[in-house]
Amino acid sequence: MERDLLAKLLVNLTRSHDGVLSQAELIKGFESVLSTLEDAVNDAPKAPEFLGRIFGKMIVENVMSLKEIGRLIGEGGEEARQLVEIGLGGDVIGSTLGMIKKERGESVLNEIRGSSCLRLEDFRPSHPNRSRILETFL
């Protein structure tokens, strides 16, 4: 799939010997994507899932940590915690975890989660419409 190729391209550009894409540039790009995610969902309802798969690839390839991805999602949106409050943050982090589990198995997922010290409960929105994707990991 094209989305999987995009994740592979980002990994390769970040890992290249020429330093084509720095860690800071990658993070800045993801911040930009997250700031417009709410609008993107109108045209692409599965955008949070696709983004989560890309984040999962970044983690399993040791390009970024789950802790860093969690920070980006928590701060994502037009305002900090906006994505979490509307439920999209939970969808993204849930899809990220799902991709890691699918690619590397539950034991690796548990190891990554444990080392990140990330509290998944922090990605639950305060209103009753919670992310169903995230709930499978709580």
What does the pLDDT look like over 8-55, one tens digit per residue? 999 999 987 777 899 899 999 999 999 999 999 999 999 999 999 999
**Rounded distance, CA 103 to CA 81, Å?**
28
pLDDT attached to residue 125: 85
Q: Which amino acid would we find at residue 77? A: G
Q: What is the pLDDT of residues 45-66, one digit of tens each?
A: 999 999 999 999 999 999 999 9
The three-point CA angle 107-89-32 to 5° equals 110
Mean pLDDT of 111-124: 93
Report the mean per-residue pLDDT for the chain: 91
Domain boundaries, the chain: 2-136
Confidence (pTM) = 0.92
For the domain covering 2-136, report its CATH number.
Answer: 1.25.40.180
